[in-house]
Amino acid sequence: MQTHGLSSFLGVPILLDGSLLAVLALLGREPFYFGVDEQTILESFVAQAAVAVQNASRYAAEMVARDASEAAA
């Protein structure tokens, strides 16, 4: 990390219904300082990311099922 001039790391779990979907990794050259507003924005982004990951997973599963159904016909 330091070879690239990075000194800060923050890993935020992306959870949905108690299941870990992903981890948002933030890297920075300066220390992170989050006020209440920044924390609220980050929490909102993580919640939206959880829904997006879930939707993408459902879409991919639907496509696999559709392909299997078409191949069986």
pLDDT digits (tens, 9 = 90+) for 25-59: 999 999 999 999 999 999 999 999 999 999 999 99
Q: Are 17 and 46 in contact (CB under 8 A)?
A: no
Print the domain residue range for 9. 2-72
Q: Are 26 and 14 in contact (CB under 8 A)?
A: no
With cut-offs at 50, 70 and 90, classify the pLDDT of residue 24.
very high
Entry pTM: 0.71
Coil, strand, or helix at residue 15?
Answer: strand
Q: How many domains does the chain have?
A: 1
